[in-house]
Amino acid sequence: MDFRDISPYTDQEVSGQINNLVNNKLFFKKLAQFLFPFSSKAFPGLIEIYIRRKFKTSFQSANSVKEFQSSLAPYVKSMISHTTDGFTFSGEENLSSVPTIYIGNHRDIALDAAFLNFLLYEQNKKTLRIAIGDNLLDGSFAETLLRLNKSFVVHRDIHGIKETLKRLTKLSTFIDQSLFIEKESIWIAQKEGRANDGNDFSDVAVLKMLYLCKRKELSFSEWVKKINIIPVSISYEYDPLDVIKARGWDHHEKMSLEEINESDLHELATGLFGDKGRVHLHICDPIDYQGDDIEELSNMIEQKILSNYKIWPTSHIAAKELTREGYDFNFFDENLIDSNQETKFLNRFNRIEEHVRKECLETYIRPMVNKKKARS
């Protein structure tokens, strides 16, 4: 089976793809706008030349995926330093030395798996392959960057039963070969798309896809015993895209495909460069499941993600604010709320529509509600 249309770039492709980026004027124009929004307007040509030279110095000598990621690591470290108030992690003893499927909650287009990969890199462990939706893989520079960084394609919006089965079987087979032939670990989200509403719920369709290519060879219980599944739970104190997510996707209906792609790139950049406050990643215990009920296993993964989700004071502030306005969210802890942080957080939503403001606040509350239910 030919996986070239969905697989990450190979070592042999790295140099050529980096050269494609070096010669992509739009790539450096967008980078200039994201990194230097004011200077790039005043001196667009100079800023783009500076970034291009910096990129060539950092990456053009890379001739393998490992070398590319080594060149990328200082920039990831800088991003963490400048856009977070600290990245912490727990459960690192659960990081596996055998090929593993890490199933995680999904809050940001690129960062959820990037934080896990950075942790693996810093501990001198092999980085993993990352499942990413094809909405960002449209032949643009974003596709090149993501596939250089070991991302593979998950097709969405597939039409027709026959085509859906064909695509999903191919994806399932690629993941199976990654694990058992190429000895590569995988990160995949617990459901399709981000949890824009703050509900980190699992979709059983993910497990069905993973099992699909083996369903004629192994019973489900036999397949589960063969693979290593580790749930991961990531939480951000602030979501740089909270307002955009709260407004929903109705505006996409009025946009052209080019405008939608531009919007996706903007959200990718906002997630990368926006203020995230503190970030915590928990690597859960490996799944130990002896049954044959796929729904039960999906629920077990969800429970681990929810119960190990780090709750930040922003959740308590949001609950306090809506309780003050008459809503029933009176399970917040006043002792965890700092007045300065409360003011800073609520000021994020001062100039937006009331229904969007309420949805933003509820998005911060829902993880606290779900964690409480998961532990009860």
CB atoms within 10 A of CB 370: 20
Q: Which DSSP string do the residues of 127-153 spell out, in sequence order? A: --EEEEETTS-SSSHHHHHHHHTTEEE
The H or E element that residue 58 is part of is helix 44-59
What pLDDT, in 10s, does the model give residues 159-186? 889 999 999 999 999 999 999 999 999 9
Per DSSP, the three-state class of 117 is helix
What pLDDT, in 10s, does the model give residues 269-319? 889 999 999 999 999 999 999 999 999 999 999 999 999 999 999 999 999
328's torsion region: left (phi>0), alpha (psi -120 to 50) or beta?
beta
Residue 249's pLDDT is 56
Residue 137's pLDDT is 60
| Apex 173 CA angle, 171 and 174, nearest 5 | 65
Query: Residues 14, 148: contact at Cβ < 8 Å?
Result: yes
How far apart are alpha carbons 259 and 273 in whole angstroms?
Answer: 21
Per DSSP, the three-state class of 326 is coil
Query: Residues 210, 170: contact at Cβ < 8 Å?
Result: no
Residue 63's pLDDT is 97
CA distance from start to end of the chain: 46
Cα–Cα distances (Å) from 234 to 154, 306, 347, in that order, read 21, 10, 24
The segments of the chain whose pLDDT lies below 70 read: 135-139, 249-263
How far apart are alpha carbons 185 and 238 in whole angstroms?
Answer: 29
User: In percent, how much of the chain has pLDDT > 90?
Assistant: 79
DSSP state of 154: E
Among 310, 319, 333, which Cα is nearest to 362's? Answer: 319
Among 138, 146, 71, 81, which Cα is nearest to 109's? Answer: 146
Residue 259's pLDDT is 57
Among 56, 63, 58, 92, which Cα is nearest to 78's? Answer: 58
